Structure 1
Amino acid sequence: MGKRNTYSVGGNTLSVIEMGDSADPVAIFLHGIPASAELWRSSMSRIAQDGWYCMAPDLPGFGQTEIKVKDPSAYTLEGMAKLLLQWMMQEGLGEVWLISHDIGGGVAQWMLSEKPLLFTKATFSNSIAGDSWPVKDVAPMIKAAKTKMFAWMALLGFFKKKDLHRAIAKTFRQQPIEMDEFECIFYDGKFSNFQRAKKFQKMLRSLDNKYTQEILGKLSLVNVPVQLVWAMDDIYQPWGISGVMLKEAFPKATVTQIHNCGHFLQIDDVDSYTEALLR
């Protein structure tokens, strides 16, 4: 289902899952932590059937994307945004629907602020905003990464697959996440393979909510239609915190709330989620 393409962007390799007819208008999907572009496969399949060419890149530090240029800023939210904008302009991608989740939403905020004319609309789902992050489950990993111990801890087996699966599974309300799906979307070597863990560590070290705090006040200047589609049983980015921040930042945004659904709404309730996106 779908295909993976790679793009050389500024000396780096961007890996992108793509689905649909390339003649259709483009929708770009941005994942969050600790997922990869694999998070979007089910949603992309349905959106593609509605007449969109769907593209989901692995963000720097995740999946199969490789940052080859020695620039630590490439792993920051701003650096990720600049890489993706460079890719879009290089490939002639315009009039894009930008769909984002979790820290991908922070990247999307920068992209919209920097190059609003590239986008026709934007959707944020359970996105970070302002100082709503890092969440308590991720904070210890960031601390380990800043001392360059995360990759060694992964190599030594500190991050047990069954424990991480249990932690992710507790966020689901409707669809239980099976181990094979968990491995593909969330685990995928970053918690066990030393080289992949080192890549993930570079991203963790760069996470800083100063980027979302800095951009929050500029979002009201973005003249692009915005949709907020929010899972209301989210323990990480609850509507009352990050959702309300974005609603205030985008005062004309439309809001769809999905009840009895957790943080990873793309797979917890894919039917309600894709229906809300396309409504």
Structure 2
Amino acid sequence: MNQLITEQVVVNGHRIASGSHGDGAPVVFLHGTPSSSLIWRNVAPRVAQQGFRTHVFDLLGFGLSERPQDPQVDTSMTAQVKILLAMLDHWGLDRFHLVAHDIGGGIAQRFGIFHPGRLLSLTLIDVVSYDSYPSPRTRLQMEKGLDVLTKMPDDDHRRHFRAWLLSAVHNKARFADGPLETYLDYISGWIGQPSLFQHQVRHYDPIHTLEVADRLSELGQLPVHLIWGADDHWQVIDWAHKLHRAIPGSRLTVLDACGHFAPEDQPEKIAALVLDHIKTARQSAT
């Protein structure tokens, strides 16, 4: 179902699933959790069609990328910055436009603060920030212990995460009839289920964004656009306003009838907003 992935690349000793499409100025997309580059399948092609070279990859431990067995392999947001840097080297990218969702936004915040000269623009969609995560529901689940959750019967596991994923979208029927089972396949089964907790849930620690929270104003040197679903129950709209206040000159667009997985609920609108922001950033730079 994820036709964006066209190659497997070994970076930093790990296999990463990735893909590049179109021609023009580079745009890199970062996904979140429990997700993969699949979430960009209806956004990235629209951007590529307008004269841009789009790049996607599945974070280490996510989607179609390697799920390291060694628990010592760090797949936190902080560690994923190194994977992003390695992928940029693979693609031969110096400066680029970055579009990020959910924990991809945590990675993007760290990247933008520590490598600001690499970014042409930054688009943050329903992202984590400060100590906005894990949600109370997820925190309660984590208190059961990750070992217990790893060994939960597959049917129970899928039932729980089916309901969880459906809470991330406004249009539940369309999501259920479309990509929902693929999302579940990536985080279920004898590989997906333990990998979900080892490589994703284990790192739901706000230290990765709190470490840079007092430096968010530095992102004001870049063209920054915040896009948020009005019905986001995972990262409620208050966080959007807090980020907007913290980043001087940033823009905020709130989408009605849209949940946390905004690229699923309104891909056409997301693509249009991304394109508008990139084109505005290019005009400002000339």
Deviations 1:63-118 (A, max 9, x none): 12115594736211100112211221343212211111111111111111221111
1:200 is matched with 196
Kept after mapping to 1: 8 A contact 2:61/2:68: no
Distance 1:92 1:32 in 2: 24
Structure 2 CA distance for partners of 1:89 and 1:141, relative to 1, 3 Å: farther
Alignment correspondent of 1:5: 7
C-alpha deviation, 1:188, in angstroms = 2.0
The range that moved more, 89-98 or 35-44, is: 89-98
Within 2, Cα distance between the matches of 1:60 and 1:207?
Answer: 15
Q: Find the counterpart in structure 1 of residue 87 from structure 2.
A: 87
> Which residue of the other structure, out of 194, 213, 222, is the alignment partner of 1:224?
222
Equivalent residue letter for 1:148: D
Query: For the residues of structure 2 that align with 1:6 and 1:207, how far apart are their CA atoms?
Result: 27
Question: What is aligned with 2:43?
Answer: 43
Amino acid at match of 2:148: M
1:275 to 268, 272, 275: 272
CA distance in 2, matches of 1:228, 1:109: 12
Looking at structure 1, the residues matched to 165 and 192 of structure 2 have their Cα atoms a distance apart, in angstroms, of: 20
TM-score (normalizing by structure 1): 0.88
Q: Which residue of 2 aligns with 1:236?
A: 234
1:230-261 CA distance string (max 9 Å, x none): 11111111221x21221122111112221121
CA distance in 2, matches of 1:160, 1:71: 23
Unmatched runs of 5 consecutive residues or more in structure 1: none
The corresponding residue for 1:178 is: 176
Q: For 1:69 and 1:181, how far apart are their aligned partners in 2? A: 27
Q: CA deviation at 1:214?
A: 1.0
**Worse-superposed segment, 223-232 or 197-206:** 197-206
1:266 aligned onto 2:266: no
Superposition deviation, residue 206 in structure 1: 2.3
Q: 1:44 offset after TM fit, Å?
A: 0.7
Taking a change above 3 Å as real, the CA distance of residues 179 and 93 of structure 1, as seen in their structure-2 partners, is same
Structure 2 unmatched ranges of 5 or more: 277-286
Partner of residue 114, structure 1: 114
1:196–1:212 CA distance, 2 compared to 1 (3 A): same
CA distance in 1, matches of 2:171, 2:196: 29
1:41-71 deviations in Å (ceiling 9; x for gaps): 0001111111111122111221121155947
| RMSD across aligned positions (CA) | 2.2
Moved more, 66-75 or 209-218: 66-75
Provide the residue aligned with 1:151 in structure 2: 150
Residue 62 of structure 1 corresponds to: 62
Aligned partners of 2:69 and 2:156: how far apart in 1? 29
Which residue does 1:214 correspond to in 2?
211
SS in 2 for 1:35: coil
**Letter aligned with residue 80 of structure 1:** Q
